[in-house]
Structure 1
Amino acid sequence: MPAITADTLTLPRVSGPSPSDTDRPVRSITTGPRGYEGEGFPVVRAFAGVDARDLDPFVHMDQMGEIEYEPGEPKGTDWHPHRGFETVTYIIDGRMAHQDSHGGGGLITDGATQWMTAGSGILHIETPPAELVDSGGVFHGIQLWVNLPRADKFAAPRYQAIEADQVRLLSSDDGGALVRIIAGQIDGQGGPSATYTPITLAHSTIQPGARLNLPWQRDFNALVYVLSGRGTVGPLGHPIQQGQLAVFGPGDRITVAAEASQDSNRPALEVLLLGGEPIREPVFQYGPFVMNSKSEIVQALEDFNAGKFGTIPPGALMPHRPQR
């Protein structure tokens, strides 16, 4: 996984537990089913089967790939609308081009993140660049939907391009794990993303046999998703592997450990750490709209059909479809 790497021995170390700290227990472990998104790229539906109350303030997450494309195979999405939440696209391996109807866009590459606030309404597209379609190659990433509270549902759309070298890097106390903070804070160290909803999002690489124990805000929920590899979670060491999501109960710290033996093509345990302050408001989702009531969904559809989400700019990106 080419997401940014570093010498963990030279990085700030995560502080150890205080005598009063408690390790968060594991409440559930679920396995995400596989499916297809957009023009047909494979995904794992990471949140499938999990109670929405355990996920709040998150709404949806897909692991995109990991897949080795042949030339002509890479796929993305067509132009589509969003309202009422934020989309986070984290590219671990490969490249994805983005463009939206409010002037945002660019190329998201290894270890970079695109943070798009849909807010009052936006049109956008994510598609592999032409050169990746021509050459093929590895593609692997995450798309996460972060809910917005009622007060921010109609915030002005905005776009944040977060490059790989902008994330905050930490090391576990033993130097065996690298933590990349994309948003929020861990142990007083903050990531670069600006968020409406208080959350923490990080990607950690845990070497075989190593253990990551890190502080977590008590008022946040806590989730760990395994991108690749095998390990254990929680104080009782529940087994977990690629494509599985752990939901933690209350406490002060999260523990994730990597098995001493990993597959040769997946040399370390790769996990996504995420949590946030629950919004605790009604959620009505219909496709790409996440609102607080059915009437707001109806209004979103009417506004989209009336062209109020903006227009596709001249010469815009378009999905790559095979010639017939």
Structure 2
Amino acid sequence: MPAVSVSDLTVLPRVPALSPVATQRPVVSITSAPSSFEGEGFPVKRAFAGVDLRLLDPFIHMDEMGEVDYAPGEPKGTPWHPHRGFETVTYIIDGIFDHQDSFGGGGTITNGDTQWMTAGSGILHIEAPPEHLVVSGGLFHGFQLWVNLQKVDKLKAPAYQDLRSSEVGLVTSADGGSLLRVIAGDVGGVAGPGSTHTPMAMVHATVSPGGELNLPWRRDFNALVYVMSGDGFVGPDQTPIGTGQLAVLGAGDALRLSAAQTQQQRYAAGLDVVILGGLPIREPVAWAGPFVMNTRAELVQAFADYEAGRLGQPIVHGDVGGSL
């Protein structure tokens, strides 16, 4: 897995021990992500399918993209598409993706990089594998998270953050058996590089077989754990959880994860998870396709603005470079 790895976890700072009065977050629900296809036909798992938006708040949607090993000629991306009213966070674990927008922004993200796009008032966007990857084929794996914006921020000017793998905060568990890659927020005293409008934390954690992770977690945040691969347990009662499943956790100020001692051969690295938490916005959500607003009238306006070209026009690849 090319996403950031460390050969010797003992050189990293460790998550501080939990307070003796810390309350472990209980498991509210565990759901399994259905498989689907996105864009021009690349496979995804809908991580939040079937979960009440009120439990996800401030998050809206998350797709795990792949893991897929493309044959030559098979890699696919998305056509030009609009966004308004939220942020997209695209994290690439394996592979490479080019992105471009209707205002001349764009770039390339690869193993362990994150592209954080504030769609704000509206933008057209395209994501695609580079031509050399289409020709050669290869492994592709990542995920895209949609983070809601408060009403006051929904019409901000679009902006990008290109977060490189070298910037990711690194910390290990108290037992030295877990690697945490902190992309946003402050986790275990280590800050991620992502600057967020909505207070939140995002972590990619790998828990080695038999390892345990006890993680302090802000009480005013929600807490979600999505398993990309492996078998393990979550919560104070150590409820079983496995590949493609999402755990929604209840109130508390700590969360507990552990990896099964015996893993299937293809999951030899242990339990690989995305841990998310954020401060709920608690505003009305009106969501249709690529737009996330507060009212139906705002959605109607978003579609009208898109049809009228007020979110910009597609740019021929290579015509404009740089970033917002």
CA distance in 1, matches of 2:103, 2:255: 39
Out of 101-110 and 146-155, give the one that drifted further: 101-110
How far did residue 262 of structure 1 move? 1.1
| 1:291-306 superposed matches below 5 A | 291-306=293-308
Paired residue secondary structure (2:266): coil
Paired residue secondary structure (1:300): helix
Superimposed CA distance per residue, residues 263-284 of structure 1 (whole angstroms, 9 cap, x where no aligned partner):
2222121000001000000001
Is 1:285 matched up with 2:294?
no
Paired residue secondary structure (2:265): coil
The aligned counterpart of 2:322 is none
The aligned counterpart of 1:133 is 134
Contact 1:102 1:157 in 2 (8 A): no
Query: Runs of 5+ in structure 1 lacking a partner?
Result: 318-324
How far did residue 311 of structure 1 move? 2.1
| 1:156-305 superposed matches below 5 A | 156-267=157-268, 268-305=270-307
Write the letter of the residue equivalent to 2:197.
Answer: Y
Query: Runs of 5+ in structure 2 lacking a partner?
Result: 320-324
CA distance in 2, matches of 1:8, 1:245: 27
How far did residue 315 of structure 1 move? 3.7
How far did residue 305 of structure 1 move? 1.1
TM-score by length of 2: 0.96
Write the letter of the residue equivalent to 1:40.
Answer: G
Paired residue secondary structure (1:224): strand
The aligned counterpart of 1:124 is 125
TM-score by length of 1: 0.96
Q: How many residues align?
A: 317
How far did residue 314 of structure 1 move? 3.9
| 1:109-120 superposed matches below 5 A | 109-120=110-121
CA distance in 2, matches of 1:226, 1:295: 37
Superimposed CA distance per residue, residues 174-215 of structure 1 (whole angstroms, 9 cap, x where no aligned partner):
110000000111133211011111110010011000001110
Contact 1:93 1:111 in 2 (8 A): yes
The aligned counterpart of 2:82 is 81
Root-mean-square deviation (CA), in Å?
1.0
Paired residue secondary structure (2:311): coil
CA distance in 2, matches of 1:118, 1:155: 8
Write the letter of the residue equivalent to 1:239.
Answer: P
CA distance in 1, matches of 2:173, 2:45: 28
- Give every structure 1 segment of 4 or more consecutive aligned residues whose post-TM-superposition deviation is greater than 4 Å: none
The aligned counterpart of 1:321 is none
Contact 1:92 1:141 in 2 (8 A): yes
CA distance in 2, matches of 1:264, 1:163: 30
CA distance in 2, matches of 1:22, 1:284: 34
Write the letter of the residue equivalent to 1:237.
Answer: Q
The aligned counterpart of 1:320 is none
The aligned counterpart of 1:104 is 105
Contact 1:28 1:248 in 2 (8 A): yes
Write the letter of the residue equivalent to 2:279.
Answer: E
